[in-house]
Amino acid sequence: MLNFDNRFLRDLPGDTDRHNAPRQVFGACWSPVDPTPVAAPTLLAHSREVAAALGLDEQAMAAPEMLAALAGNALLPGMAAYASCYGGHQFGQWAGQLGDGRAILLGEAVNRQGQRLELQLKGAGPTPYSRRADGRAVLRSSIREFLCSEAMHHLGVPTTRALSLVATGETVVRDMFYDGHPVAEPGAVVCRVAPSFTRFGHFELLAARGERELLQRLVDFTIARDFAELVTGAEPSLAAWFGEVCERTARLMVHWMRVGFVHGVMNTDNMSILGLTIDYGPYGWVDNFDPGWTPNTTDASSRRYCFARQPAIARWNLERLADALAMLTPRPVELAAGIERYDEVYSSEFCAAFAGKLGLCEWHHDDADLLEELFELMRQAEIDMTEFFRCLASLDIDNPAIDVVQSAFYRDDLRLRFSAPVSRWLTRYAARVRQDAQPAARRAARMNAANPRYVLRNYLAQQAIDRAEQGDTQRIHDLLDVLRHPYVEQAGCAAFSAKRPDWARHRAGCSTLSCSS
Ligand code: AMP
Ligand code: MG
């Protein structure tokens, strides 16, 4: 059974008002709030790896008390339910208090290895931070969050995890296109799991309100609980800790860029202090390589959060965090070193990641040029990012022929038009690879370990959603299985690596999504 030790509640002040109504909450980091029970919960899927990390076997997952807890209908012994208070910059503007409007924390489970894992229900009903919304989530976005957080983990990308996906048996009304056509959709609750759900916005809100003392407490708490490895004797300086946050964020951005993930809503309230991918909403995966692509319809005109801008936005978000922390130090300039560390780590990790994707033993200065040229070709020729990098491993470097990457093109006309420049690039690339004098099999193995065969393409998630909405969850399980080993070619799984089909190019859910979830 789960063993809880709820430090966030114990060490940080909570809201004294127990009334579950929207309000501004001052002088507190959390508000007590119980999940709102649902009519007829069913466990649609769970992650056996996350269950195992929590020490839960299949029998424990199948217990009725577990289902009740994962649906928000009851608490298990040791659980305590609360919503946390944070603010954030949304689309570049300070938005004031936001908070867990549809997330309810259930406490911190400590597993047998002593690892602390927070459990959080998403979609379990309103909290004091729900503002005018209902605190609920629809099945489609819950499936997307459940599958993608597990897929990201198996890709090696830092992320919050998902323990379970529960259908509520109730409907939730959403106006998916914001066009005045609300529809009753099936509802669901996901149980998310992470060492910490603390966001940049937790610190920003306290700073914006001038709650200096509480801000210092939250920083001390975060360092002690979530960055214990930094505490060697004395507590690290504020700047040292901020530098660590910057480094983790830089590494995360490199991961997103290397796998072609676009978060879609990189507001500061959606930035994890641990450098995890958090809050899967209108995210998407790059199909044809398009640096300007965003899956988020709300962002379609300004493209603030498009694929290529993610590293710059993360940096901007870190600057907002630095602004918030500045009131805690007489020498705020020291925080600038963290931003520099972000730049350095991003560059070096990016080079290392793309050296891996290209199968190079090490990154040479001129390789940046080679990669830039490739990106430009991929963009113009509308080449599928995942397919191209995966196929590149099969290139015969003594006889580089375009055939191996034929399947990465979406359009025949562009394939013909760009066949000469792509061939020239392959020749140049082959010459570069030959410099490394690396056995071909070694290069291919390294590339296959860096270039996933399977990612949660937008249309694949949508197919699983379409079927689940008809009551058939098989696709969710199939995807979970395949995405468990994204770098390994799996027999009979061609359908899960296929490029986006034509029908999916403009279909909602397959190419673009709204925040309405
Ligand atoms: P997001 O864009 O999902 O990161 O959400 C931004 C803010 O809106 C957060 O404070 C959320 O908790 C809140 N929010 C989003 N959807 C809902 C909902 N259905 N009910 C209550 N609050 C919500
Ligand atoms: Mg959020």
Q: Report CA dihedral (163, 167, 168, 173) to the nearest 10 degrees.
A: 110
**What's the pLDDT score for residue 517?**
62
Q: 238: which residues sit within 8 A by CB, 6+ positions away?
A: 219, 325, 328, 329, 334, 335
Partnered with residue 334 across adjacent β-strands are none
- How is residue 21 annotated by DSSP? S
Which residues face 285 on adjacent strands?
Answer: 261
Mean pLDDT of 121-134: 97
Beta bridge partners of 45: 165
In this prediction, residue 359 carries a pLDDT of 98
* Ligand 1 atom closest to the CA of 98, numbered from 1: 10
Ligand nearest, relative to CA of residue 86: 1
**pLDDT of 234 strictly over 90:** no
**Angle, nearest 10°, between helix axes 336-358 and 310-325?**
160
pLDDT over 90 at 515, yes or no: no
Q: Residue 234 and residue 448: Cα distance in Å, rounded?
A: 43
**469 CA → ligand 1 middle, Å:** 23
Nearest CA to ligand 1 atom 10: 98
- Lookup: tokens for 309: 């801008």
Q: Which protein residue's CA is at the shortest distance from atom 20 of ligand 1?
A: 135
Query: Residue for token digits 């047998």?
Result: 112
**Ligand 1 atom index nearest CA of 127:** 21
Which residues in 143-182 are b (16+ Cβ under 10 Å) and which e? Answer: bbbbbbbbbbbbbebbbbbbbbbbbbebebebebeeeeee
8 Å CB contact between 514 and 298? yes
Q: What are the backbone angles phi and psi of residue 94, rounded to the nearest 5°? A: -70, 130
Is it the case that residue 38 has pLDDT exceeding 80?
yes
pLDDT > 70 fraction of the chain, expressed in percent and rounded? 100
Assign 511 a pLDDT band (cuts: 50, 70, 90): confident
**Residue from 15, 100, 226, 269 carrying the catalytic annotation:** 269
Does the beta carbon of 145 sit less than 6 angstroms from any atom of ligand 1? Answer: no
Task: List pLDDT tens digits, range 376-415.
Answer: 999 999 999 999 999 999 999 999 999 999 999 999 999 9
Mention every residue, 6+ apart, whose C-beta is less than 8 A from residue 290: 307, 379, 382
Secondary structure (3-state) at 463 = helix
Query: What confidence score (pLDDT) does residue 516 get?
Result: 61
**Would the CB of 272 count as within 6 Å of ligand 1?**
no
pLDDT of 317-353, one tens digit each? 999 999 999 999 999 999 999 999 999 999 999 999 9
Catalytic, 34? Answer no
Q: 422 CA distance to ligand 2 centroid (A)?
A: 41
